[in-house]
Amino acid sequence: MKRFQNQIPYLFLFLYLILIFASSSTYTNYPKLILTDIIKFPLHLSDKVFYNLKILLHSNTLIKENKDLYSKLQESKGRVAHLEEIEAENERLKVILSFKNESPFDFIACPIIAKDPTNLSDSILIGAGKKHGINEKTVVITPSGVVGKVAEIFSNSSRVLLITDPDSHISAIDLRSRCEGMLYGISGRLCRMEYLPLDADIKKGDSIITSSFSGFFPKGLLLGEVVEVAQSPNGLSLYAIVKPQVDFSYIEEVLCIR
């Protein structure tokens, strides 16, 4: 009897639920909505819990997939950079080949393999030496203009003294007016053309080339452009500051005249 009395509340609850869902909607809509909301809340909560649990269980997989995608992206970037470098090198070699075909000189094309890290001199190391026919008379140029002259030779490489080095001196001439002087290297990757008469016809923007008295340098090679003209300290002559035609910061290949 006592057991039956304990079950009476559950029986009433069961009957009440049947009454709600079996009765006309006019009387039972509101209780139904309340009951539906009560039932939906734990269901919605359990759904969220299971969803987050699923994400947590798959997090390791997602992390691994992200790492794989990042690795593939970096690999693709490396391939693109390599292809761009090959394309840039091909363009430079096309210019050099065209220049060789049009020039009267016989050249050896070679790469620059090092630049002087001590800054004690303006020089570069090129990948050609005695085995390639390089000697101390070899002049080094690019399609843009004169780079310098070989100063030291090794078996498979050579050190080239740039025209901007203070030890470099070349007989030069103004292409427009034909006035002559001596071109020396100075600091700041520039050159100075000296021993110009006071009445020399030389102007800013003039092109300076090698003269017929340049020794090892063939006549008519482009050296640079005049950026300034001034009177020497003793007042007896003029001098011109010349910016080399070759940008030594960016060259990667050179031509050695044989």
pLDDT (tens digit per residue) in 114-162: 987 556 678 999 999 999 999 988 999 998 999 999 999 999 999 999 9
**Cα 81 to chain centroid, rounded:** 9
Task: Determine the Cα–Cα distance for residues 194 and 229; give it in Å rounded to an integer.
Answer: 10
Q: What is the DSSP letter of 58?
A: T
Residues 192/242, Cβ–Cβ less than 8 Å: yes
Sorted by sequence, the CB contacts under 8 Å of residue 79 that are 6+ apart come out as none
Q: In this predicted structure, what is the pLDDT of residue 115?
A: 85
Sorted by sequence, the CB contacts under 8 Å of residue 136 that are 6+ apart come out as 150, 151, 153
Nearest to 185 by CA among 147, 237, 159: 147
The pTM of this model reads 0.66
Does position 216 have pLDDT exceeding 90, yes or no? no
27 confidence band (pLDDT: 50, 70, 90): very low
7 confidence band (pLDDT: 50, 70, 90): low
Sorted by sequence, the CB contacts under 8 Å of residue 166 that are 6+ apart come out as 184, 185, 186, 187
Task: Determine the Cα–Cα distance for residues 191 and 194; give it in Å rounded to an integer.
Answer: 10
Q: In this predicted structure, what is the pLDDT of residue 34?
A: 56
Q: Which tokens is 49 given?
A: 């819990």
Residues 239/194, Cβ–Cβ less than 8 Å: yes
Q: What is the DSSP letter of 143?
A: S
Sorted by sequence, the CB contacts under 8 Å of residue 235 that are 6+ apart come out as none
- Give the residue, 129 or 104, on which the prediction is more confident: 129
Find the range with the poorest average confidence among 65-79, 208-222, 238-252. Answer: 65-79
Q: In this predicted structure, what is the pLDDT of residue 32?
A: 52
Residues 133/126, Cβ–Cβ less than 8 Å: no
- The pLDDT tens digits of the residues spanning 174-188 come to 999 999 999 999 977
Task: Determine the Cα–Cα distance for residues 153 and 166; give it in Å rounded to an integer.
Answer: 20
Q: 192-226 in b/e burial notation, b at 16+ Cβ within 10 A?
A: bbbebeeebebeeebbbbbbeebeebeeebbbbbb
Find the range with the poorest average confidence among 24-33, 40-49, 73-82, 173-182. Answer: 24-33
Q: In this predicted structure, what is the pLDDT of residue 71?
A: 76
**With the CA atoms of 80, 85, 89 and 90 taken in that order, what torsion angle do they form, in degrees rounded to the nearest 10?**
0
* Mean pLDDT score of the chain: 81
Give the orientation angle of helix 25-57 with respect to helix 2-22, to 10 degrees: 100
Q: In this predicted structure, what is the pLDDT of residue 79?
A: 73
- Give the residue, 45 or 212, on which the prediction is more confident: 212
Does position 36 have pLDDT exceeding 50, yes or no? yes
